[in-house]
Chains A and B, each alone.
Chain A
Protein backbone atom coordinates (compact mmCIF):
# COMPACT_ATOMS: atom_id res chain seq x y z
CA UNK A 1 0.00 0.00 0.00
CA UNK A 2 2.81 2.34 0.89
CA UNK A 3 4.63 1.63 -2.37
CA UNK A 4 1.30 2.13 -4.23
CA UNK A 5 0.75 5.44 -2.47
CA UNK A 6 4.32 6.40 -3.26
CA UNK A 7 3.62 5.73 -6.96
CA UNK A 8 0.70 8.18 -6.78
CA UNK A 9 2.93 10.86 -5.20
CA UNK A 10 2.79 14.59 -5.87
CA UNK A 11 4.98 15.53 -8.85
CA UNK A 12 7.75 17.20 -6.78
CA UNK A 13 8.56 13.97 -4.91
CA UNK A 14 10.94 11.40 -6.40
CA UNK A 15 9.42 8.04 -7.34
CA UNK A 16 10.71 4.58 -6.37
CA UNK A 17 12.65 4.21 -9.64
CA UNK A 18 14.39 7.56 -9.24
CA UNK A 19 15.28 6.70 -5.65
CA UNK A 20 16.75 3.34 -6.71
CA UNK A 21 18.70 5.10 -9.47
CA UNK A 22 20.24 7.40 -6.83
CA UNK A 23 22.12 4.53 -5.18
CA UNK A 24 24.93 4.06 -7.75
CA UNK A 25 25.82 7.73 -7.43
CA UNK A 26 25.70 7.54 -3.63
CA UNK A 27 27.96 4.46 -3.72
CA UNK A 28 30.44 6.34 -5.84
CA UNK A 29 30.34 9.14 -3.23
CA UNK A 30 31.37 6.67 -0.49
CA UNK A 31 28.01 5.51 0.89
CA UNK A 32 29.51 2.30 2.30
CA UNK A 33 32.19 4.17 4.22
CA UNK A 34 29.64 6.70 5.51
CA UNK A 35 27.34 3.87 6.51
CA UNK A 36 30.16 2.21 8.43
CA UNK A 37 30.92 5.47 10.27
CA UNK A 38 27.26 5.94 11.26
CA UNK A 39 26.77 2.30 12.23
CA UNK A 40 29.89 2.12 14.37
CA UNK A 41 29.22 5.50 16.01
CA UNK A 42 25.65 4.50 16.82
CA UNK A 43 26.72 1.12 18.22
CA UNK A 44 29.46 2.75 20.29
CA UNK A 45 26.96 5.30 21.64
CA UNK A 46 24.39 2.60 22.51
CA UNK A 47 27.01 0.58 24.39
CA UNK A 48 28.36 3.59 26.31
CA UNK A 49 24.82 4.79 27.12
CA UNK A 50 23.89 1.36 28.43
CA UNK A 51 27.11 1.10 30.46
CA UNK A 52 26.32 4.50 31.97
CA UNK A 53 22.56 4.26 32.49
CA UNK A 54 21.94 0.63 33.43
CA UNK A 55 23.94 0.72 36.69
CA UNK A 56 22.41 4.09 37.52
CA UNK A 57 18.90 2.76 36.92
CA UNK A 58 19.59 -0.36 39.01
CA UNK A 59 20.95 1.82 41.80
CA UNK A 60 17.65 3.69 42.04
CA UNK A 61 16.54 0.89 44.37
CA UNK A 62 18.49 3.03 46.85
CA UNK A 63 16.35 6.04 47.74
CA UNK A 64 19.46 8.26 47.84
CA UNK A 65 20.06 7.72 44.11
CA UNK A 66 16.56 8.68 42.98
CA UNK A 67 16.92 12.51 43.09
CA UNK A 68 20.07 12.35 40.94
CA UNK A 69 18.39 10.16 38.34
CA UNK A 70 15.28 12.35 38.35
CA UNK A 71 17.42 15.44 37.70
CA UNK A 72 19.31 13.66 34.90
CA UNK A 73 16.00 12.56 33.43
CA UNK A 74 14.77 16.17 33.26
CA UNK A 75 17.73 17.13 31.06
CA UNK A 76 16.17 15.25 28.16
CA UNK A 77 14.19 18.42 27.45
CA UNK A 78 17.41 20.28 26.65
CA UNK A 79 18.37 20.31 22.99
CA UNK A 80 21.65 18.71 21.95
CA UNK A 81 22.52 21.78 19.85
CA UNK A 82 22.93 23.85 23.01
CA UNK A 83 25.72 21.60 24.21
CA UNK A 84 27.95 21.75 21.12
CA UNK A 85 30.22 24.52 22.42
CA UNK A 86 30.41 23.13 25.95
CA UNK A 87 31.17 19.61 24.72
CA UNK A 88 33.74 20.94 22.22
CA UNK A 89 35.61 22.51 25.13
CA UNK A 90 35.26 19.32 27.18
CA UNK A 91 35.96 16.72 24.49
CA UNK A 92 37.96 18.67 21.94
CA UNK A 93 35.84 18.11 18.83
CA UNK A 94 35.98 15.34 16.21
CA UNK A 95 34.69 11.84 16.86
CA UNK A 96 34.78 12.30 20.64
CA UNK A 97 32.48 15.33 20.37
CA UNK A 98 30.03 13.47 18.12
CA UNK A 99 30.01 10.52 20.46
CA UNK A 100 29.59 12.69 23.56
CA UNK A 101 26.59 14.51 22.06
CA UNK A 102 25.01 11.25 20.98
CA UNK A 103 25.66 9.50 24.31
CA UNK A 104 24.25 12.48 26.18
CA UNK A 105 21.11 12.60 24.02
CA UNK A 106 20.52 8.84 24.19
CA UNK A 107 21.36 8.44 27.87
CA UNK A 108 18.90 11.01 29.12
CA UNK A 109 16.04 9.22 27.37
CA UNK A 110 17.36 5.78 28.27
CA UNK A 111 17.75 6.59 31.98
CA UNK A 112 14.17 7.92 32.05
CA UNK A 113 12.76 4.73 30.55
CA UNK A 114 14.95 2.43 32.67
CA UNK A 115 14.10 4.30 35.86
CA UNK A 116 10.41 3.86 35.04
CA UNK A 117 10.98 0.10 34.71
CA UNK A 118 12.61 -0.10 38.16
CA UNK A 119 10.01 2.18 39.73
CA UNK A 120 7.08 0.11 38.51
CA UNK A 121 8.34 -3.19 39.92
CA UNK A 122 5.71 -4.09 42.55
CA UNK A 123 6.69 -4.37 46.20
CA UNK A 124 5.40 -7.97 46.18
CA UNK A 125 8.34 -9.03 44.00
CA UNK A 126 10.86 -7.70 46.51
CA UNK A 127 8.83 -9.21 49.36
CA UNK A 128 8.94 -12.56 47.59
CA UNK A 129 12.74 -12.34 47.36
CA UNK A 130 12.91 -11.50 51.06
CA UNK A 131 10.81 -14.54 51.98
CA UNK A 132 13.43 -16.59 50.11
CA UNK A 133 16.09 -15.05 52.37
CA UNK A 134 17.72 -13.26 49.46
CA UNK A 135 19.73 -10.26 50.71
CA UNK A 136 19.27 -6.67 49.46
CA UNK A 137 21.83 -6.89 46.62
CA UNK A 138 20.73 -10.42 45.78
CA UNK A 139 17.18 -9.05 45.45
CA UNK A 140 18.41 -6.38 43.05
CA UNK A 141 20.08 -9.09 40.98
CA UNK A 142 17.14 -11.54 41.04
CA UNK A 143 14.20 -9.14 40.91
CA UNK A 144 15.51 -6.12 39.02
CA UNK A 145 18.42 -7.25 36.83
CA UNK A 146 17.50 -10.84 35.92
CA UNK A 147 13.78 -10.68 36.64
CA UNK A 148 13.22 -7.74 34.28
CA UNK A 149 16.02 -8.29 31.78
CA UNK A 150 13.49 -8.68 28.96
CA UNK A 151 11.88 -5.32 29.80
CA UNK A 152 15.29 -3.65 29.98
CA UNK A 153 16.31 -5.11 26.63
CA UNK A 154 13.06 -3.89 25.12
CA UNK A 155 13.69 -0.41 26.52
CA UNK A 156 17.21 -0.43 25.08
CA UNK A 157 15.74 -1.53 21.72
CA UNK A 158 13.31 1.41 21.64
CA UNK A 159 16.06 3.84 22.59
CA UNK A 160 18.47 2.37 20.06
CA UNK A 161 15.87 3.18 17.40
CA UNK A 162 15.73 6.73 18.73
CA UNK A 163 19.52 6.73 18.44
CA UNK A 164 19.24 6.80 14.64
CA UNK A 165 17.12 9.94 14.79
CA UNK A 166 19.72 11.62 17.00
CA UNK A 167 22.67 10.29 15.01
CA UNK A 168 21.65 11.94 11.76
CA UNK A 169 21.08 15.16 13.71
CA UNK A 170 24.46 14.99 15.47
CA UNK A 171 26.24 14.16 12.21
CA UNK A 172 24.64 17.27 10.80
CA UNK A 173 25.91 19.35 13.71
CA UNK A 174 29.43 17.87 13.71
CA UNK A 175 30.50 17.16 10.17
CA UNK A 176 33.82 15.56 11.20
CA UNK A 177 34.12 12.04 9.66
CA UNK A 178 30.86 12.52 7.76
CA UNK A 179 28.35 9.74 8.22
CA UNK A 180 24.88 9.24 6.77
CA UNK A 181 23.52 12.33 8.55
CA UNK A 182 26.16 14.59 7.02
CA UNK A 183 25.65 12.98 3.63
CA UNK A 184 21.89 13.47 3.86
CA UNK A 185 22.24 17.14 4.80
CA UNK A 186 24.60 17.72 1.85
CA UNK A 187 22.05 16.17 -0.53
CA UNK A 188 19.26 18.14 1.15
CA UNK A 189 21.15 21.38 0.59
CA UNK A 190 21.21 20.70 -3.17
CA UNK A 191 17.56 19.59 -3.08
CA UNK A 192 18.46 16.11 -4.41
CA UNK A 193 15.42 14.47 -2.88
CA UNK A 194 15.99 11.16 -4.67
CA UNK A 195 19.35 10.79 -2.86
CA UNK A 196 17.85 11.94 0.46
CA UNK A 197 15.07 9.36 0.11
CA UNK A 198 17.62 6.69 -0.81
CA UNK A 199 19.61 7.39 2.37
CA UNK A 200 16.40 7.46 4.44
CA UNK A 201 15.41 4.08 3.03
CA UNK A 202 18.83 2.72 3.93
CA UNK A 203 18.49 4.02 7.51
CA UNK A 204 15.01 2.46 7.68
CA UNK A 205 16.35 -0.91 6.52
CA UNK A 206 19.22 -0.81 9.01
CA UNK A 207 16.84 0.22 11.78
CA UNK A 208 14.56 -2.72 11.04
CA UNK A 209 17.52 -5.14 11.05
CA UNK A 210 18.79 -3.61 14.33
CA UNK A 211 15.33 -3.96 15.85
CA UNK A 212 15.05 -7.56 14.72
CA UNK A 213 18.53 -8.35 16.06
CA UNK A 214 17.67 -6.93 19.49
CA UNK A 215 14.38 -8.87 19.56
CA UNK A 216 16.38 -12.00 18.74
CA UNK A 217 18.87 -11.27 21.56
CA UNK A 218 15.95 -10.81 23.96
CA UNK A 219 14.39 -14.06 22.83
CA UNK A 220 17.72 -15.82 23.26
CA UNK A 221 18.42 -14.45 26.75
CA UNK A 222 14.83 -14.36 28.01
CA UNK A 223 12.90 -17.27 26.48
CA UNK A 224 10.24 -16.91 29.20
CA UNK A 225 9.34 -13.37 28.13
CA UNK A 226 7.07 -14.28 25.24
CA UNK A 227 5.24 -17.12 27.03
CA UNK A 228 2.42 -14.97 28.39
CA UNK A 229 1.81 -13.03 25.19
CA UNK A 230 -1.53 -13.37 23.42
CA UNK A 231 0.12 -14.23 20.11
CA UNK A 232 1.70 -17.32 21.69
Chain B
Protein backbone atom coordinates (compact mmCIF):
# COMPACT_ATOMS: atom_id res chain seq x y z
CA UNK B 1 0.00 0.00 0.00
CA UNK B 2 1.36 3.41 -0.96
CA UNK B 3 2.14 5.75 1.92
CA UNK B 4 2.72 8.70 -0.38
CA UNK B 5 0.48 11.64 0.55
CA UNK B 6 0.16 15.41 0.46
CA UNK B 7 -1.59 17.86 2.77
CA UNK B 8 -3.78 20.31 0.86
CA UNK B 9 -6.58 22.68 1.97
CA UNK B 10 -7.36 23.37 5.58
CA UNK B 11 -10.72 21.73 6.33
CA UNK B 12 -11.12 22.57 10.02
CA UNK B 13 -9.33 25.36 11.81
CA UNK B 14 -9.57 25.91 15.56
CA UNK B 15 -8.15 29.27 16.61
CA UNK B 16 -7.47 30.31 20.20
CA UNK B 17 -10.61 28.54 21.37
CA UNK B 18 -11.66 29.27 24.93
CA UNK B 19 -14.67 28.39 27.03
CA UNK B 20 -15.54 29.61 30.50
CA UNK B 21 -18.54 28.99 32.72
CA UNK B 22 -18.48 31.92 35.11
CA UNK B 23 -15.02 31.88 36.70
CA UNK B 24 -14.38 28.29 35.72
CA UNK B 25 -12.18 27.94 32.64
CA UNK B 26 -12.96 24.76 30.70
CA UNK B 27 -10.95 25.28 27.54
CA UNK B 28 -8.13 27.75 27.12
CA UNK B 29 -6.40 28.84 23.94
CA UNK B 30 -6.96 25.74 21.87
CA UNK B 31 -5.31 25.82 18.46
CA UNK B 32 -5.38 23.05 15.88
CA UNK B 33 -6.18 22.37 12.27
CA UNK B 34 -7.13 19.48 10.05
CA UNK B 35 -5.82 19.48 6.51
CA UNK B 36 -7.10 17.54 3.53
CA UNK B 37 -4.93 14.44 3.13
CA UNK B 38 -4.53 13.53 -0.51
CA UNK B 39 -3.13 10.15 -1.61
CA UNK B 40 -2.62 9.22 -5.25
CA UNK B 41 -5.39 6.93 -6.49
CA UNK B 42 -7.05 6.48 -3.07
CA UNK B 43 -9.92 8.50 -1.69
CA UNK B 44 -8.77 9.33 1.82
CA UNK B 45 -10.73 11.16 4.45
CA UNK B 46 -9.33 12.46 7.71
CA UNK B 47 -9.82 10.77 11.09
CA UNK B 48 -8.78 12.66 14.22
CA UNK B 49 -8.89 11.06 17.65
CA UNK B 50 -9.52 13.40 20.58
CA UNK B 51 -8.24 11.85 23.79
CA UNK B 52 -8.21 13.04 27.35
CA UNK B 53 -9.13 12.03 30.87
CA UNK B 54 -12.72 12.29 32.15
CA UNK B 55 -13.90 15.80 32.93
CA UNK B 56 -11.16 17.50 30.92
CA UNK B 57 -13.63 19.17 28.52
CA UNK B 58 -13.91 16.70 25.63
CA UNK B 59 -17.69 16.94 25.58
CA UNK B 60 -17.58 20.73 25.61
CA UNK B 61 -15.04 20.72 22.78
CA UNK B 62 -17.33 18.34 20.84
CA UNK B 63 -20.31 20.63 21.39
CA UNK B 64 -18.33 23.64 20.15
CA UNK B 65 -17.07 21.66 17.14
CA UNK B 66 -20.69 20.72 16.37
CA UNK B 67 -21.81 24.35 16.64
CA UNK B 68 -24.01 23.57 19.64
CA UNK B 69 -22.07 25.70 22.10
CA UNK B 70 -20.75 29.23 21.64
CA UNK B 71 -17.12 29.51 22.74
CA UNK B 72 -16.17 32.34 25.07
CA UNK B 73 -13.25 33.26 22.83
CA UNK B 74 -11.75 32.23 19.51
CA UNK B 75 -13.60 30.24 16.91
CA UNK B 76 -13.76 27.38 14.43
CA UNK B 77 -13.97 27.54 10.66
CA UNK B 78 -15.04 24.61 8.51
CA UNK B 79 -14.70 23.40 4.93
CA UNK B 80 -12.66 24.38 1.93
CA UNK B 81 -14.29 27.82 2.06
CA UNK B 82 -13.61 28.06 5.83
CA UNK B 83 -17.12 29.03 6.96
CA UNK B 84 -17.56 29.92 10.65
CA UNK B 85 -19.02 26.97 12.53
CA UNK B 86 -22.79 26.72 13.01
CA UNK B 87 -25.06 23.85 14.06
CA UNK B 88 -25.53 21.39 11.22
CA UNK B 89 -22.21 21.98 9.48
CA UNK B 90 -20.54 19.25 11.54
CA UNK B 91 -22.60 16.17 12.37
CA UNK B 92 -22.62 14.96 15.95
CA UNK B 93 -23.38 11.39 16.92
CA UNK B 94 -23.76 11.25 20.69
CA UNK B 95 -23.08 8.12 22.70
CA UNK B 96 -26.73 7.09 22.79
CA UNK B 97 -27.06 7.39 18.98
CA UNK B 98 -29.94 9.90 18.98
CA UNK B 99 -32.67 9.48 16.39
CA UNK B 100 -36.20 10.85 16.15
CA UNK B 101 -38.17 8.03 17.76
CA UNK B 102 -41.46 8.90 16.05
CA UNK B 103 -39.97 8.62 12.57
CA UNK B 104 -39.01 5.48 10.70
CA UNK B 105 -35.41 4.89 9.64
CA UNK B 106 -36.04 6.23 6.13
CA UNK B 107 -38.00 9.20 7.43
CA UNK B 108 -35.16 10.03 9.85
CA UNK B 109 -32.71 10.10 6.95
CA UNK B 110 -35.03 12.02 4.62
CA UNK B 111 -35.52 14.74 7.21
CA UNK B 112 -31.73 15.20 7.36
CA UNK B 113 -31.31 15.04 3.58
CA UNK B 114 -34.00 17.70 2.99
CA UNK B 115 -31.56 20.36 4.16
CA UNK B 116 -29.40 19.94 1.09
CA UNK B 117 -31.70 18.29 -1.46
CA UNK B 118 -35.23 18.55 -2.84
CA UNK B 119 -37.77 15.90 -1.81
CA UNK B 120 -37.05 13.47 -4.67
CA UNK B 121 -33.28 13.72 -4.36
CA UNK B 122 -33.53 13.47 -0.56
CA UNK B 123 -35.46 10.19 -0.86
CA UNK B 124 -32.95 8.80 -3.35
CA UNK B 125 -29.94 9.90 -1.33
CA UNK B 126 -31.47 8.41 1.84
CA UNK B 127 -32.02 5.06 0.14
CA UNK B 128 -28.44 5.14 -1.18
CA UNK B 129 -27.14 5.63 2.36
CA UNK B 130 -29.35 2.85 3.69
CA UNK B 131 -27.83 0.49 1.13
CA UNK B 132 -24.33 1.76 1.87
CA UNK B 133 -24.77 1.04 5.58
CA UNK B 134 -26.49 -2.35 5.02
CA UNK B 135 -29.78 -1.03 6.37
CA UNK B 136 -31.98 -1.18 3.27
CA UNK B 137 -34.26 -3.82 4.82
CA UNK B 138 -34.81 -1.68 7.91
CA UNK B 139 -36.19 1.37 6.08
CA UNK B 140 -39.70 1.12 7.54
CA UNK B 141 -38.69 0.28 11.10
CA UNK B 142 -38.69 2.63 14.06
CA UNK B 143 -35.43 3.32 15.96
CA UNK B 144 -36.71 1.29 18.91
CA UNK B 145 -36.78 -1.79 16.68
CA UNK B 146 -33.07 -1.57 15.80
CA UNK B 147 -30.08 -3.14 17.52
CA UNK B 148 -27.42 -0.85 19.02
CA UNK B 149 -25.13 -1.30 16.00
CA UNK B 150 -27.91 -0.63 13.49
CA UNK B 151 -28.99 2.43 15.45
CA UNK B 152 -25.42 3.74 15.43
CA UNK B 153 -25.21 3.29 11.66
CA UNK B 154 -28.52 5.10 11.09
CA UNK B 155 -27.38 7.95 13.37
CA UNK B 156 -24.11 8.27 11.43
CA UNK B 157 -25.93 8.15 8.08
CA UNK B 158 -28.38 10.80 9.28
CA UNK B 159 -25.63 13.18 10.37
CA UNK B 160 -23.65 12.62 7.16
CA UNK B 161 -26.74 13.35 5.06
CA UNK B 162 -27.12 16.65 6.85
CA UNK B 163 -23.54 17.81 7.30
CA UNK B 164 -22.19 16.05 4.19
CA UNK B 165 -18.53 15.70 5.21
CA UNK B 166 -17.86 16.40 8.87
CA UNK B 167 -18.71 14.16 11.77
CA UNK B 168 -18.02 13.88 15.49
CA UNK B 169 -18.46 10.47 17.09
CA UNK B 170 -18.71 10.57 20.85
CA UNK B 171 -17.37 7.37 22.43
CA UNK B 172 -18.36 5.18 19.47
CA UNK B 173 -16.73 2.03 20.89
CA UNK B 174 -17.57 2.35 24.59
CA UNK B 175 -19.22 -0.74 26.00
CA UNK B 176 -18.77 -2.81 22.84
CA UNK B 177 -17.21 -6.26 22.69
CA UNK B 178 -13.99 -6.66 20.60
CA UNK B 179 -15.82 -7.94 17.51
CA UNK B 180 -18.27 -5.05 17.54
CA UNK B 181 -15.39 -2.63 18.09
CA UNK B 182 -13.69 -3.97 14.97
CA UNK B 183 -16.93 -3.49 13.03
CA UNK B 184 -17.24 0.12 14.22
CA UNK B 185 -13.60 0.79 13.32
CA UNK B 186 -14.24 -0.73 9.89
CA UNK B 187 -17.32 1.45 9.43
CA UNK B 188 -15.36 4.58 10.37
CA UNK B 189 -12.74 3.65 7.74
CA UNK B 190 -15.53 3.15 5.21
CA UNK B 191 -17.17 6.51 6.00
CA UNK B 192 -13.88 8.40 5.89
CA UNK B 193 -13.11 6.83 2.53
CA UNK B 194 -16.39 7.99 0.95
CA UNK B 195 -15.03 11.43 0.07
CA UNK B 196 -11.74 13.34 0.17
CA UNK B 197 -13.34 16.00 2.34
CA UNK B 198 -14.83 13.59 4.89
CA UNK B 199 -13.40 14.33 8.30
CA UNK B 200 -14.29 12.36 11.41
CA UNK B 201 -13.50 13.30 14.98
CA UNK B 202 -13.56 10.45 17.45
CA UNK B 203 -13.90 11.58 21.04
CA UNK B 204 -13.00 8.69 23.28
CA UNK B 205 -11.18 7.06 26.19
CA UNK B 206 -10.53 3.97 24.11
CA UNK B 207 -6.94 4.61 23.04
CA UNK B 208 -6.22 1.37 21.10
CA UNK B 209 -9.50 1.58 19.14
CA UNK B 210 -8.94 5.16 18.05
CA UNK B 211 -5.28 4.48 17.23
CA UNK B 212 -6.28 1.74 14.83
CA UNK B 213 -8.37 4.11 12.69
CA UNK B 214 -7.08 7.67 13.18
CA UNK B 215 -4.43 9.48 11.21
CA UNK B 216 -3.92 12.12 13.91
CA UNK B 217 -4.46 12.17 17.66
CA UNK B 218 -5.03 15.21 19.85
CA UNK B 219 -4.38 14.82 23.53
CA UNK B 220 -6.23 17.23 25.81
CA UNK B 221 -4.60 18.19 29.07
CA UNK B 222 -5.19 20.73 31.78
CA UNK B 223 -2.97 23.77 31.98
CA UNK B 224 -2.22 25.07 35.49
CA UNK B 225 -0.59 28.23 36.83
CA UNK B 226 2.21 28.29 39.42
CA UNK B 227 -0.34 28.04 42.24
CA UNK B 228 -1.73 24.85 40.71
CA UNK B 229 -5.02 26.49 39.67
CA UNK B 230 -6.59 25.24 36.47
CA UNK B 231 -6.50 27.63 33.52
CA UNK B 232 -8.55 25.25 31.38
CA UNK B 233 -7.70 22.46 28.95
CA UNK B 234 -5.87 22.66 25.67
CA UNK B 235 -4.29 20.29 23.19
CA UNK B 236 -1.02 19.41 24.91
CA UNK B 237 0.21 16.75 22.46
CA UNK B 238 -0.53 16.01 18.82
CA UNK B 239 0.49 12.72 17.23
CA UNK B 240 0.83 12.16 13.51
CA UNK B 241 0.05 8.48 12.96
CA UNK B 242 0.94 8.72 9.28
CA UNK B 243 4.48 9.76 10.04
CA UNK B 244 4.72 6.98 12.62
CA UNK B 245 3.68 4.41 10.02
CA UNK B 246 0.49 3.40 11.84
CA UNK B 247 -2.31 5.05 9.84
CA UNK B 248 -3.84 3.21 6.85
CA UNK B 249 -2.14 -0.07 7.77
CA UNK B 250 -4.46 -3.11 7.53
CA UNK B 251 -3.53 -4.44 10.99
CA UNK B 252 -1.96 -1.49 12.80
CA UNK B 253 -2.22 -3.03 16.27
CA UNK B 254 0.36 -5.67 15.26
CA UNK B 255 3.02 -3.05 14.56
CA UNK B 256 5.73 -2.30 17.14
CA UNK B 257 5.17 1.42 16.47
CA UNK B 258 1.55 0.96 17.61
CA UNK B 259 2.58 -0.62 20.91
CA UNK B 260 5.22 2.04 21.50
CA UNK B 261 2.82 4.89 20.89
CA UNK B 262 0.13 3.26 23.03
CA UNK B 263 2.63 3.03 25.92
CA UNK B 264 3.69 6.65 25.34
CA UNK B 265 0.13 7.97 25.38
CA UNK B 266 -0.81 5.92 28.44
CA UNK B 267 2.17 7.26 30.35
CA UNK B 268 1.20 10.84 29.39
CA UNK B 269 -2.42 10.30 30.44
CA UNK B 270 -1.47 10.35 34.11
CA UNK B 271 -0.04 13.86 33.80
CA UNK B 272 -2.94 15.43 31.91
CA UNK B 273 -5.30 16.34 34.77
Contact = CB atoms under 8 A, between A and B. Distances in A.
Q: Do A and B make up one complex? A: yes
Interface of A: 124-125, 127-128, 130-134, 142-143, 146-147, 149, 222-224, 227-228
B142 A224 contact: yes
Given A227-B142, A228-B144, A130 B87 contact: yes
A131 B87 contact: yes
Interface stretch (B12-20, B26-34, B96-104, B197-205): B96-104
B214 interface: no
B136 interface: no
Given A224-B101, A224-B144, A131 B68 contact: yes
Contacts of B111: 132, 134, 142
A227 B141 CA distance: 11
B78 interface: no
A147 B142 CA distance: 12
Contacts, number: 61
Nearest to A227: B144
A146 B108 CA distance: 13
Given A131-B68, A131-B92, A131-B159, A227 B145 contact: yes
A133 B88 contact: yes
B174 interface: no
Given A124-B94, A132-B111, A228-B144, A146 B68 contact: no
B66 interface: yes
B45 interface: no
Interface string B116-155: 0000000000000000000000000011110000000000
B241 interface: no
Contacts of A227: 142, 144-145
A132 B158 contact: yes
A117 to B, nearest CB: 14
23 contacts: A124-B94, A124-B98, A127-B68, A128-B92, A128-B98, A130-B68, A131-B68, A131-B88, A131-B91, A132-B88, A133-B87, A134-B111, A142-B100, A142-B111, A147-B100, A147-B101, A147-B102, A222-B102, A224-B101, A224-B142, A227-B142, A227-B144, A227-B145
